[in-house]
A and B are shown apart, each in its own frame.
Chain A
C-alpha cells in the first residue's frame, strides 16, 4: 500500500493570479505541513498558469504542480477531476484541501467519492491530532446553529475550507520552492458537459467582496424597491455596496449575486449594516467576519442584535432615512 504523505492544495486562479482562497489554503496548509514535518504541494491547472506558480511558493508552497491544457481554461468538473485524480494517485498525499468555492463545492465531493474517501466540507478550523496524525475538521452545521467536529480513518483525508476562514501568510518572494510541470493529460472525450455560454450578471459599481462598507437588506424590506432607494442612498454615501439576505434573492427582489450567507457570498467588510434582517444563522454565516456589525430591526428580540455591536430598534422606513441624513450632515461638517 502506498504511503500517504504531505498536503496537497487544489489551487484556483482568478484573472491569471492566485485566487485569495488559495493563499488562505496555503497559509493553513503551511501550518499543518510544519506540524507533520511534511511537504506542502499546490496543484494549479489552467490553460496557462504563468506567474501564479511563483506566487504559490511565495505564499507557502514547497512544490507547485503545473498542469496546462486548453480544456482547463474554464472550470469544468469532467476535465478538472481527471487531472486532480491522476495527480493524487501519483503523489498520494495524506491530506487534500480545497476551497469551499464555486469550483470546490463542485469538485471536492466528486473527487472524494472517486477516491473512495470521506470529505468534510466548509471547514472553519483544521488541526492535526498529534497521536494519530489525522485531520480534525470543524464545520458549522444546522445552518450555523451548531458546529461539528469530524475525523475519518480513510486516506487521503479531505476537507474543503470556507473562504476568509483562514489567514494567508505574508507574501515572501524569497521563499524557495519547486515548480513541477506535470505531463498529466486531459482526455476530452470524457468531458460530458458542454458550456454553451458564460454570462456576467454582477451589478455595476463596487464589488461586494471588496467593499469596505456593506448595507444589507433582508426579508423585512418587503420588495425590490428599497434596494434601489433607501439602501442604495446609504451605501453610496459610505462608498459601499448593497447586499441582501437569502429571501430577497429567492424572491427575485435582487440578483443572486447580491446574496450574502451560507449559500451565497461570504463577506468581511469593515462595516456591515444589517437592515430588516432577523439574523438567521445561515445569514450570519456570511457576514460574521465583519469588523463592526450594525443592526436596524423593528423586533428587539431579533437574533441579529446578538451579532451586532450597535443597534437601533425600529422600522427601517423611519430609522434609515434619519440615519442617512444625519450621517451626511456629519460627514460634510
Chain B
C-alpha cells in the first residue's frame, strides 16, 4: 500500500558554522552573509526516513515548510532527493513565531493537504532548539505521535518505530495516521542525483499565504506568539586555557601528563 507522507522541514542558518560567527544584536541573531542557510539537520533525517519508506513501500512525499524569503535552491533539496511536492507557507507575517504559532500554522496546512498517513518532523530545529512543533501538530490534529525515532517501517496500516531511549531503544507500534518525530541514527540524508536536481529545477513550489490556510495575521508569526522573547544574549566566556608545549607534539602530550599530575588533577 503506497504511503502518503508529509515531511515538515525548516530553513535555518547553517548550525555547523563556527561559534564565533553567531552574534547577537538588538535581541536578534545576526550572521554574516557567507553563512548559508540549510535544511535543519533533524529535518534532513526526517526526509531520509520518509524516503526509505518510499523506497520499500512506495508512496508520495510532500515537503512542507514555513517561513519567509526561502532560498529556492536550499529548500528545493527536498524535491531533489526524491520528494514529490513542495508546499511553502511563505509570507512576512509568518516570521518571528514560536512553537505554538508554528505548529498551529503547519497543522492548518496539513488539514488543507487533507490526505496523509504519516507526518514526519525533526526532533528540534537547528536554530531555536525547542523541540515542540512536531508534538504540537499531533495534538492539534488529534493523532498519535512517537518521538525520537531512529528507524521507521510501515506494514499493513501500522507503523513500527525504533524509539531511542537513554540506554537503548524501544520498538513501538502505532496505527496510521501518525506523526513521527525523528532523531539521528537512521543515516544521513541521501545525495540528490543529477536527474533529481534537474527535475527539482523544473518544479515550482506551491505557495500558501496565511489566508490560504484560513488564518489571520494575528494568529501567526510574531503576532501569534504565546511566549515572549524578553532578551537574547551571549554569556561572556573567559578563555583561560593553558597550552602545554614541547619539542614535538608527542613530547607536548607527555608534558601534559606531567602538568596534570602537578596540578593534582589525575
Q: How far is the CA of A331 from the CA of B258 in the complex (A)?
A: 10
12 A-B pairs (CB sep. < 8 Å): A110-B139, A140-B129, A141-B128, A192-B174, A193-B172, A250-B184, A280-B16, A281-B22, A296-B253, A310-B256, A313-B243, A314-B252
A-chain residues with CB within 8 Å of residue B190 when the two chains form the complex? none
Q: Is A325 an interface residue (CB 8 A)?
A: yes
B144 with A78: CB separation less than 8 A = yes
B266 with A327: CB separation less than 8 A = yes
B-chain residues with CB within 8 Å of residue A118 when the two chains form the complex? 98-100, 226-227
Closest beta carbon of chain A to B174's beta carbon, Å: 5
Q: How far is the CA of A325 from the CA of B255 in the complex (A)?
A: 11
Q: Is B211 an interface residue (CB 8 A)?
A: no
Cross-chain contact of A200 among B146, B147, B168 (Cβ < 8 A) = B168
B-chain residues with CB within 8 Å of residue A121 when the two chains form the complex? 129-132
Q: A113-B103, A199-B170, A323-B253 are in contact. Are A145 and B265 (CB under 8 A)?
A: no
- Choose, from B64-72, B83-91, B191-199, B234-242, the stretch at the interface: B234-242
Q: Which bucket holds chain B's interface residue count?
A: 35 or more
Q: Is B259 an interface residue (CB 8 A)?
A: yes
A198 with B249: CB separation less than 8 A = no
Q: Which bucket holds chain A's interface residue count?
A: 35 or more
A-chain residues with CB within 8 Å of residue B249 when the two chains form the complex? 312-315, 318-319, 322
Cross-chain contact of B258 among A143, A249, A250, A326 (Cβ < 8 A) = A326
- Choose, from B108-116, B159-167, B214-222, the stretch at the interface: B159-167
Q: Is B232 an interface residue (CB 8 A)?
A: yes
Q: Is A257 an interface residue (CB 8 A)?
A: yes
Q: How far is the CA of A303 from the CA of B18 in the complex (A)?
A: 8
B-chain residues with CB within 8 Å of residue A195 when the two chains form the complex? 170-172
Q: How far is the CA of A115 from the CA of B207 in the complex (A)?
A: 32
Q: Is A147 an interface residue (CB 8 A)?
A: yes
Q: How far is the CA of A195 from the CA of B100 in the complex (A)?
A: 29
Closest beta carbon of chain B to A113's beta carbon, Å: 4
Q: Is A43 an interface residue (CB 8 A)?
A: no
Chain B interface (Cβ < 8 Å from any Cβ of A): 15-16, 18-20, 22, 24, 29, 98-100, 103, 123-124, 126-132, 135-136, 138-140, 144-148, 150, 160, 164-175, 183-185, 187-188, 226-235, 237, 239-244, 248-261, 263, 265-266
B-chain residues with CB within 8 Å of residue A320 when the two chains form the complex? 253
A146 with B99: CB separation less than 8 A = no
Q: Is A58 an interface residue (CB 8 A)?
A: no
Cross-chain contact of B254 among A102, A199, A322 (Cβ < 8 A) = A322
Q: Is A95 an interface residue (CB 8 A)?
A: no
B-chain residues with CB within 8 Å of residue A142 when the two chains form the complex? 15, 22, 29, 127-129
Looking across the interface, which residue of chain B has its beta carbon closest to that of A270? Answer: B265
Instruction: Indicate the member of A101, A257, A306, A314 with the most B CB atoms within 10 Å.
Output: A314
B174 with A194: CB separation less than 8 A = yes
